Amino acid sequence: MAKTLQEALLPLRQRIDAVDEQLLTLLNERAQLAVSVGEVKQTFGETETILKPEREAQIIRRLQEANKSKLFPSDAVGAVWTEIISACRGLERGLVVAYLGPEGSFSEQAALEYYGHAIQKLPCVSFDEVFRAVETGRANVGMVPVENSTEGAVNRTQDLLLSSMLKVHGERTLPIRHCLLHKTGDLSKVNRLLGHPQALAQCHQWLMVNYPHLERVPAASNSEAAKIAAEDESCLAIAGMQAARIYGLTVVTEGIQDDANNKTRFLAIGKIEALPSGKDQTSLIFAVPNRAGAVYDMISPFAKHGVSMTRFESRPARTGQWEYYFYVDVLGHQNDESVSLALNELKEQSAFFKILGSYPMQ
């Protein structure tokens, strides 16, 4: 007699159960090893945050390499091991992560994707507060947006990176899909649209075509806009799907950002510094003396030592003298010989010079 579907599935499901049990045993073995690592760190007086960004990046890259041309998807290797490491790290010591909240922001998503879910979340009301929370030790680390593929630099973050003593130890780039959200979906009472200025700018053309006369009101964050709209039928909000879910909003239109490939790059900041991981980049800020050819002279050490520049941006120095700070990313770690030589030469000629950090590339 032919088997039923359940009968046909049973032996396969039994084998899946057996594999899961083996995985669980191995995960517990790994967790125990992480606890031992934590104890060893303690005996060596390593009492600061337990996070080792270079080691985490190496583990994930090595496994992704080993998994090449295998069945389990490479992206899933990254996501699964981020969570495994996060859980193990949490057993060594909890990690408090500050970011622009409230709950449901893209910054929160970046924080969870980078540090995993075994963290203590500290949503903050502004980027300034994120930096302050980490500087004062209320949080161990923070996650802040630094640039968007449509709108360019996130200016407040750039300014805070300039003045803060915090270092960059990692990066995460997220695709950003904005949605138009409303409490009920009946827009008859709507008279304004709330969104973070960055989100309003990233959706500018779509809004011009679809809601040209609607008043646009800047909000402290997208998730804050969503939270307000959840209480007020006169408000539309721009925020992500996660915020729509958390605050129970109706999605009026999905994907309203002007560029379908809209992305934001976030930086992981803290007091720790990442050691070389084998595939790193270095972020720095410098200012040049105000004379002809100064910028050219400044960047020539990179060409001389074969160091690739991946980002070059300027911000006014606020002296009223048309002077600028240059924000530059280069490939390689500051401990690499070529990068170190180039940076030393650049430093000697700079009116201002600051390394924000060397960190594993995503």
Ligand X SMILES: O=C(O)C(=O)C[C@]1(C(=O)O)C=C[C@@H](O)C=C1
Residue whose C-alpha is closest to residue 147's, from 257, 325, 312: 312
Q: Which is nearer to ligand X, 55 or 132 (CB)?
A: 55
Dihedral sign, Cα of residue 15, residue 78, residue 40, residue 133: negative
**Residue showing the smallest CB distance to ligand X in the complex:** 88
Q: Which is nearer to ligand X, 27 or 309 (CB)?
A: 27
Among 39, 45, 52, 266, binds ligand X (CB under 6 A): 52
- Residue identified by tokens 């560029």 is 259
Binding range to ligand X, per CB under 6 A, among 4-12, 14-22, 86-94, 223-231: 86-94
Binding range to ligand X, per CB under 6 A, among 85-93, 191-199, 250-258, 329-337: 85-93
Per CB under 6 A, 118 contacts ligand X: no
Give bridge partners of residue 270 from the DSSP assignment. 141, 167
Question: For residue 71, what are the contacts with CB-CB under 8 A and spacing of at least 6?
Answer: none
Q: How far is the CB of 51 from ligand X (least distance, A)?
A: 5
101 within 8 A of 125, measured Cβ to Cβ: yes
- What DSSP assignment string belongs to 151-210? TEE-HHHHHHHHH---EEEEEEEEE---EEEESSS-GGG--EEEE-HHHHHHTHHHHHHH
Q: Which is nearer to ligand X, 31 or 295 (CB)?
A: 31
Pairing relation of β-strands 120-124 and 215-218?
unpaired
Is 264 catalytic? The answer is yes
Binding to ligand X by CB under 6 A, coded x per residue (else -) over 278-317, reads ----------------------------------------
Q: How far is the CB of 26 from ligand X (least distance, A)?
A: 13
Per CB under 6 A, 63 contacts ligand X: no
Per CB under 6 A, 37 contacts ligand X: yes
CB atoms within 10 A of CB 342: 25
Per CB under 6 A, 80 contacts ligand X: no
- Residue identified by tokens 């510094």 is 273
Q: How far is the CB of 96 from ligand X (least distance, A)?
A: 15
SS3 142: strand
Per CB under 6 A, 89 contacts ligand X: yes
Binding range to ligand X, per CB under 6 A, among 54-62, 71-79, 227-235, 351-359: 54-62
Catalytic residue among 266, 286, 302, 326: 266
Q: How far is the CB of 275 from ligand X (least distance, A)?
A: 11
Q: Which is nearer to ligand X, 20 or 39 (CB)?
A: 39
Q: Which is nearer to ligand X, 259 or 273 (CB)?
A: 273
Among 57, 77, 90, 92, binds ligand X (CB under 6 A): 92
Q: How many residues form the binding site for ligand X (CB under 6 A)?
A: 12
Per CB under 6 A, 55 contacts ligand X: yes
Residue whose C-alpha is closest to residue 247's, from 99, 100, 104: 104
Is 302 catalytic? The answer is no
Per CB under 6 A, 59 contacts ligand X: yes
Strand spans (E) along the chain: 96-100, 120-124, 141-148, 152-153, 167-175, 179-182, 192-195, 215-218, 235-239, 250-254, 263-270, 280-287, 309-316, 324-331, 352-360
Catalytic residue among 49, 82, 264, 282: 264
246 within 8 A of 330, measured Cβ to Cβ: no
Measured between alpha carbons, how far is 144 from 169 in angstroms, rounded to an integer?
Answer: 12
Measured between alpha carbons, how far is 193 from 215 in angstroms, rounded to an integer?
Answer: 6
Q: How far is the CB of 33 from ligand X (least distance, A)?
A: 8
CB atoms within 10 A of CB 149: 16
Catalytic residues: 264, 266
List residues near ligand X by CB under 6 A.
34, 37, 50-52, 55-56, 59, 85, 88-89, 92
